[in-house]
Structure 1
Amino acid sequence: MSITAPVLSAVGPVRAGQLWQDMAPDMVDRERMLRVVAVGATHADCVVERDNRPGAAGRKARPLALRRFATSAFTLIEDVVDDADQLVYARFLAAMTDVQGGSPSPVEYATAALRVHKELTAEAAKGQG
């Protein structure tokens, strides 16, 4: 498939790596989920990552029209995470796990997140100057 400008779904661009649940009435009970492996100008190639029907998981699905992702036919389950986002997420997660005590309060978690946010903002400002 060729690489083109991303086609927007209800939640943003359809991109390779995303996991979508098929919301067709006959597929919801099967918990059918499709992983996008390539995005073309009008269609996406997907692999069935999960399906309760024996033998269906791991098979290639027929190409899906990108416009269908902008409808209620599919629900985004897992988006693609960029490496930079993954590093920032790891810093926030580390701050959350550093909160001590038997039952930390939401305020303590928020304070830890705010500290990381301020650190990231300062680093970004330093990098631009």
Structure 2
Amino acid sequence: MSSPSPVSSAVGPVRVGQLWQDMAPDMVDRERMLRVVAVGATHADCVIERDKQGTAGRKTRPLALKRFATSAFTLIEDVVDDADQVIYARFLAAMTGVQGGNPSPVQYATAALRVHKELAAEAGNGQG
């Protein structure tokens, strides 16, 4: 039950390790966060990672994957595949290298574009 789900939201498939905020009206104030621990064909198993009412650590009932593609949940933290970890680290280093007290989105995009061009050049030289 750990393969990516064929059901996807705007951010992609539901995957093990993701952290989602429950956006149900009665859960928003509780700041209830759910960590995906298993993904099946139609449902995901989650553990409550944070809840102001003290239910952290408990398992939820299986949640329909299609609900993650709605406004019922907001993706808070995605996972990075092992194969992408090195590339992710390079992008993250470029983003954190942006200087200034209030960096603009353009500065972040420029940093990411620089890494993208480096990776493309490396792939063209047989290095990637």
Contact 2:80–2:88 (CA<8 Å) still a contact in 1? no
The root-mean-square deviation of aligned C-alpha atoms, in Å, is 3.0
Q: Aligned AA for 1:126?
A: N
The Cα of 1:78 is off from its aligned counterpart by 0.9
The Cα of 1:93 is off from its aligned counterpart by 4.0
The Cα of 1:25 is off from its aligned counterpart by 0.6
Q: Aligned AA for 1:46?
A: C
Per-residue Cα deviation, 1:36-64 (whole angstroms, up to 9, x for no partner):
1111111110000111112x111111111
The Cα of 1:70 is off from its aligned counterpart by 1.5
Q: Aligned AA for 1:32?
A: R
Where 1:58 maps in the other structure, the secondary structure is: coil
The equivalent residue for 1:49 is: 49
Change (3 A) 1:98 1:43: closer
Give the alignment of 1:54-73 within 5 angstroms.
Answer: 54=54, 56-73=55-72
CA radius of gyration, larger in = 1
The equivalent residue for 2:82 is: 83
TM-score, normalised via structure 2 length: 0.77
Q: Aligned AA for 2:60?
A: A
TM-score, normalised via structure 1 length: 0.77
- Structure 2: give runs of 5+ residues left out of the alignment: none
The equivalent residue for 2:121 is: 122
Alpha-carbon separation, structure 1, partners of 2:109 and 2:41 = 42
Q: Aligned AA for 1:15?
A: R
Where 1:116 maps in the other structure, the secondary structure is: helix
The equivalent residue for 1:14 is: 14
Change (3 A) 1:69 1:124: same
Does residue 23 in structure 1 map to residue 23 in structure 2?
A: yes
The Cα of 1:112 is off from its aligned counterpart by 5.4
Q: Percent of aligned pairs with the same residue? A: 82
Alpha-carbon separation, structure 2, partners of 1:87 and 1:4 = 20
- Structure 1: give runs of 5+ residues left out of the alignment: none
Number of equivalenced pairs: 126
The Cα of 1:11 is off from its aligned counterpart by 2.3
Per-residue Cα deviation, 1:74-124 (whole angstroms, up to 9, x for no partner):
111111112343312322344466678x87x86887665554333211111
Where 1:120 maps in the other structure, the secondary structure is: helix
